[in-house]
Amino acid sequence: MVKTTARPTPRSRATTGLFLAGTDTNVGKTVATAALGIALRRTGVNVGVMKPVETGTPQNGMVSVSDAYRLRELLTPHANMALLNPYRFPAPVAPAEAARLSHTRIELTAILEAYQTLAGHHESMLVEGVGGVLVPLTHTEDVCRLIKLLELPCLVVSRTSLGAINHTRLTLMGLRQADIPIAGVLLNHTSADASRDAQLQTESTVAWIRRLSGVPVFGPLPFQADMARHWEASINVLAGDVTMRDVVTMVRESG
């Protein structure tokens, strides 16, 4: 968050929106973005979606498991991919490094322009982050810097398993330090482990995150055992979960 990037003139129409940041990679940002998008659409909201940077993009025609393609197919099938996902890199490493390996660099102003163009066509915009909030996008800019540039409140997606209290608090601390408005924490149950210890860990993790966060805590979204085989059906189930009703209310009231 060091560099100040020149801003083009805003032209967006979207009156509500969220940046869905993760406490880590693989916490369920895509799942949460997709389920929230469907839930908002069910209430009549015209939702736009963006995955500004994706790394480790699937090769050999496996685009169906790419975050950006999944989100587009589910929420905005006619969206221009260059706007929805301006940067995609094959290397499964942090974005700044993945860009370097592709002999290019990520321009935050290009992301902002794409965002504003999409926002001109939708009432509400959902932007999925990449990794955690301090992940480097360039040598001098990180995900926090991007969130600030887009001027979106942040919804932190976090796990419910052991370690999540620390990850969640560190993420909230980073966002507060960057003066980014925090819409809340969305907890997501990503593990199939139903052992007694796992249940105890989940219950206590959720309780402590609620106690210590100082922001609204939503969820946890329930674990969907069929997610790997039936992604879209599982997303539809999560979109109907009571958790999403609360998140939708929060988004609609923020407009």
Ligand X SMILES: Nc1ncnc2c1ncn2[C@@H]1O[C@H](COP(=O)(O)OP(=O)(O)OP(=O)(O)O)[C@@H](O)[C@H]1O
Provide the binding-site residues for Mg ion, judged by CB under 5 A: 29-30, 67
Shortest Å, Cβ 92 to ligand X: 9
Which range in 29-37, 116-124, 161-169, 244-252 contacts ligand X by CB under 6 A?
29-37
Complex with ligand X: residue 48 or 131, whichever CB lies closer? 131
By the rule CB under 6 A, 221 interacts with ligand X = yes
∠ CA 160-24-242, nearest 5°, is: 40
- What is the H or E stretch that residue 20 is in? strand 16-22
Please give the structure tokens belonging to residue 230. Answer: 């039936």
Whether 3 is catalytic: no
Q: How many residues bind ligand X (CB under 6 A)?
A: 17
Contacts 24+ apart (CB under 8 A), 139-145: 139/96, 140/2, 140/3, 141/1, 141/2, 141/3, 141/5, 141/106, 141/108, 142/1, 143/21, 144/1, 144/174, 144/175, 144/178, 144/180, 145/1, 145/2, 145/3, 145/5, 145/108, 145/178
SS3 45: coil
- What is the H or E stretch that residue 47 is in? strand 47-50
Of 3, 29, 51, 148, catalytic: 51
Which range in 22-30, 90-98, 146-154, 178-186 contacts ligand X by CB under 6 A?
22-30
If one counts every other C-beta atom within 10 angstroms of the C-beta of residue 147, the result is 22
Closest chain position to Mg ion (CB)? 30
Complex with Mg ion: residue 56 or 181, whichever CB lies closer? 56
Select the residue interacting with ligand X from 67, 123, 141, 142 (CB under 6 A).
Answer: 67
Cα–Cα distance for residue pair 55/91, rounded to 1 Å: 6
Shortest Å, Cβ 33 to Mg ion: 8
Select the residue interacting with ligand X from 28, 37, 48, 174 (CB under 6 A).
Answer: 28
By the rule CB under 6 A, 93 interacts with ligand X = no
By the rule CB under 6 A, 160 interacts with ligand X = no
Positions touching ligand X (CB under 6 A) are: 22, 25-31, 67, 131, 188-190, 221, 223-224, 227
Catalytically active residues are 51
